[in-house]
Structure 1
Amino acid sequence: MHPNSAFRPRQDDLAELLVREIGFAAVFAATPDGPRVAHAPVVLSDDRATLQFHLARGNALTRHLDGATALAVVQGPDAYVSASWYEAADQVPTWNYVAIEMEGVVSKLDDAALIAQLDTLSAAHEARVGANPPWTRDKMNPALFSKMTGAIIGFELRITAWRPTIKLSQNKSADERDRVIKGIEATGHGALAQLMRHLGDDKGQA
């Protein structure tokens, strides 16, 4: 988390919006084998209190997560910011980025909760795909589906701390930010440029 308070989102729902929109996280935890990270699609509960995910049984984190404190990080677009884009002198290069950290204790889910998680995930993303009709597990052989779900384990992280960083040059003047946006867009980072336009102004940030 960046220490500059300018990069904390003002709206309570902005971090939640980004987690739901991106929907993929890196989950970090300490293990007897050393620090480990896993990467997984995530489901944020309606009340923002829990984050669910699932991992392969053979993942290096899986056997250590139940009861452990973990950190889930959802990352958005990022890009290098050249100091040459600023009009002001004596500037240095930096990096603009979006990162939402969620910390909490993890618990293992039972089979029914795992399947419910998978149903929620597929329904949400099938809606984005726009398939008609959307894919559901009803299209699978039940025995095969059961075999495949047997190879994964579901988890739930009960969130005790949110630590979002939305670093979009909010500490710069409007003119300087506009130059950075144009530079970032010209270097092929259109998604970050759009976030800077829509989320990085004084109304959207602390």
Structure 2
Amino acid sequence: MRQNPSFAMSDVGEIRRLIEQNPWVTLMSATDAGLVASHYAVMLDPERDDLTIVGHVGKPDDFIHDLGERELLVVVQGPHGYISPGWYGDAQSVPTWNFVSAHLSGVPELLTPEENLDVLERLVARFESGMPEPRLMWAPPNDPEFVRRLEKGTAGFRLTPTRVVGKRKLSQNKADEIVETVIVELEAGASPYADPRLSAEMRRDFETRKAAR
């Protein structure tokens, strides 16, 4: 991802927030057979306060990616959307796309079966927590034999990135009144491109920048 100093996102806390809120990521590897990509949910390593993530892939994706042997690129995609030049008023302008994203690169460490079980359990607990009647991994009708058989079909990994590129492109190069107009259009406009998540991210960034002036 090409970096632009105006849009750089380097704060670890902000990138952690991005990962926490957008756990469905793209995993990419350059292998002898060419580029390969997969999509899985990850989470921040609960034992660390940096950008270390843990997750799993279904077998044989571990062999397809040469997991643990090659560099892995993890693409985290946050809110994003089309920005119409019509929202800029009468000034000369072109369309663009606002987004928040981060790329984490490094060679992952393969987890032991017990570590992988712990990650699987935490992932299930996290996403089931919002359900009215959570179904946890070890709870009936599941039994230990079923859960351990499930684990054997996956490969867990831990990635402490050696390279991180974060980018937050949210109209920071536009005048305040234009940013406010774009936020309103995304928030409640009649456009098919209205997106409350993107408008909320823009508003958060805008208010933070104003407070820092």
TM-score relative to the length of structure 2: 0.86
Q: Which residue is 2:6 aligned to? A: 6
Instruction: Report the secondary structure of 2:194's partner residue.
Output: coil
Contact 2:26 2:40 in 1 (8 A): yes
Residue pairs, 1:33-48, within 5 angstroms: 33-45=33-45, 46-48=48-50
Instruction: Report the secondary structure of 1:181's partner residue.
Output: helix
Q: Structure 1 CA distance, aligned partners of 2:157 and 2:196?
A: 34
Q: Aligned-pair distance for 1:149?
A: 1.5
Q: Which residue is 2:109 aligned to? A: 107
Contact 1:36 1:60 in 2 (8 A): no
Q: Which residue is 1:181 aligned to? A: 183
Matched, 1:152 2:158: no
Q: Structure 1 CA distance, aligned partners of 2:182 and 2:21?
A: 24
Q: Structure 2 CA distance, aligned partners of 1:103 and 1:97?
A: 20
Q: Which residue is 1:25 aligned to? A: 25
Q: Which residue is 1:89 aligned to? A: 91
Contact 1:109 1:153 in 2 (8 A): yes
Tell me which moved more, 173-182 or 7-16. 7-16
The 3 A distance-change label for structure 1 pair 204 and 165 is farther
The 3 A distance-change label for structure 1 pair 133 and 96 is closer
Q: Aligned-pair distance for 1:49?
A: 4.4
Q: Which residue is 2:203 aligned to? A: 197
* Runs of at least 5 residues in structure 2 that lack an aligned partner in the other structure: none
Contact 2:29 2:65 in 1 (8 A): no
For 2:120, give the aligned amino acid: L
Q: Which residue is 2:138 aligned to? A: 137
Instruction: Report the secondary structure of 2:40's partner residue.
Output: strand
Tell me the matched-pair count.
Answer: 205
The 3 A distance-change label for structure 1 pair 132 and 152 is same
Contact 2:137 2:147 in 1 (8 A): no
Instruction: Report the secondary structure of 1:68's partner residue.
Output: coil
Tell me which moved more, 44-53 or 26-35. 44-53
Contact 1:55 1:62 in 2 (8 A): no
| Residue-by-residue CA offset, 1:106-161 (whole Å, 9 max, x unaligned) | 1221101100111221222233x154566242431111112221111111212112
Q: Structure 1 CA distance, aligned partners of 2:75 and 2:53?
A: 11
Instruction: Report the secondary structure of 2:49's partner residue.
Output: coil
Q: Structure 2 CA distance, aligned partners of 1:69 and 1:75?
A: 19
Instruction: Kindly indicate whether structure 1 or structure 2 has the higher relative contact order, using CA contacts under 8 Å at least 6 residues apart.
Output: 1
* Runs of at least 5 residues in structure 1 that lack an aligned partner in the other structure: none
Instruction: Report the secondary structure of 2:93's partner residue.
Output: coil
Instruction: Report the secondary structure of 1:13's partner residue.
Output: helix
Instruction: Report the secondary structure of 1:176's partner residue.
Output: helix
Instruction: Report the secondary structure of 1:147's partner residue.
Output: helix
More strand by share: 1
Tell me which moved more, 25-34 or 8-17. 8-17
Q: Which residue is 2:118 aligned to? A: 116
Q: Aligned-pair distance for 1:162?
A: 1.9
TM-score relative to the length of structure 1: 0.89
Q: Structure 2 CA distance, aligned partners of 1:82 and 1:200?
A: 19
Contact 1:80 1:184 in 2 (8 A): no
Q: Percent of aligned positions with the same letter in both sequences?
A: 28
